[in-house]
Amino acid sequence: MTTPPKVLTIAGSDSGGGAGLQADLRALFACGVHGMTAVTAVTVQNSLGVTGYTEIPADVVAAQIVAVASDIGVDAAKTGMLASAAIIEAVADACDRVGIGAAVPFVVDPVAASMHGDPLLADAALDALRVLLFPRATIVTPNLDEVRLLVGVDVKSREDQYEAARALHALGPRWVLVKGGHLWTDPQCVDLLYDGSEFLELPGPRYDVKHTHGSGDTLASAISSRLARGEDVPTAVRYGKEFIVRSVAAAYPLGAGVGPVSPLW
């Protein structure tokens, strides 16, 4: 047997199995890569929302990254919930030590809150995200709520989406993907990819579905799986877009609240 490409997710646990590292591992498996985890926080969560979380000590987060990189190797890494500035600092430092963000592609999904609005990142940590992780990122993948928090652009139109992409790119990532799923007035879901010189609009259908838990995590994982195979960013993002569209179409009900998207079509 040959070893598949290896992807590390640096993310929080969702006890309901819908989002977070559970969604990442599911998507990574479906994308044919080996998934590894540096756990940042344990959320107490079900389909109705997040009622609390405990952070993993920052040095333990860093140690998980170094442990897997030094033995197994990492072909691409992604972030999800990072919880605090102390964890972000430890992640940035550990990534530097093992080449994540340099030779190893690094997808930074700037998770700030759950879809129910429950916070997953301390307010004081936004600066750490901007200053420490964005310059190291191969690509950042914010949704429009995260865009507002990070660069203060309230996206209401395609023009705003372009402005947000420019503002985010100025923070230092090599590529920006401004996801359009939360632009509710748009009949389509148009994600905007930008590398500082060229814009690429990636349109997709907008499904009128309730169950979309874990969609951001699933998209970032699918993109990471292709970067781990050595694909270029536009190719990996196109794959991720197709992957998430199909996963949203295959979402299923769970509990009394919001069910997860599914990478098994």
* Site residues (vs ligand PLP, CB under 6 A): 11-12, 14, 19-20, 43, 45, 80-81, 111, 114-115, 120, 213-217
Specify whether the CB–CB gap between 207 and 173 falls below 8 A: no
Distance CA 181, CA 40 (A): 26
For residue 210 the two structure tokens come to 């309730």
Beta carbon nearer to ligand PLP, 75 or 217: 217
For residue 29 the two structure tokens come to 């498996």
Name the residue with the smallest CB distance to ligand PLP.
20
Q: In the chain, count of helices (H) and strands (E)? A: 8, 9
Beta carbon nearer to ligand PLP, 45 or 138: 45
> Which helix H or strand E contains 140, and what residues bound it?
strand 139-140
Beta carbon of residue 103, minimum distance to ligand PLP (angstroms, whole number): 26
Beta carbon of residue 235, minimum distance to ligand PLP (angstroms, whole number): 24
Beta carbon nearer to ligand PLP, 101 or 214: 214
Cα 4 vs. chain centroid, distance in angstroms?
A: 21
Distance CA 38, CA 141 (A): 19
Beta carbon of residue 102, minimum distance to ligand PLP (angstroms, whole number): 24
Beta carbon nearer to ligand PLP, 83 or 229: 83
Beta carbon nearer to ligand PLP, 43 or 262: 43
Beta carbon of residue 17, minimum distance to ligand PLP (angstroms, whole number): 10
| Positions of E strands within 67-187 | 76-79, 106-108, 139-140, 175-178
For residue 53 the two structure tokens come to 């979380």
Beta carbon of residue 26, minimum distance to ligand PLP (angstroms, whole number): 13
Per-residue DSSP letters for 191-216?
A: EEEE-SS-EEEEEEE----S--BTHH
Beta carbon nearer to ligand PLP, 47 or 138: 47
Beta carbon nearer to ligand PLP, 101 or 259: 259
Distance CA 1, CA 195 (A): 37
For residue 262 the two structure tokens come to 């599914």
Beta carbon of residue 60, minimum distance to ligand PLP (angstroms, whole number): 17
Distance CA 34, CA 31 (A): 9
Cβ-Cβ contacts under 8 Å for 29 (sequence gap 6 or more): 35, 263
Beta carbon of residue 80, minimum distance to ligand PLP (angstroms, whole number): 4
For residue 131 the two structure tokens come to 């200053």
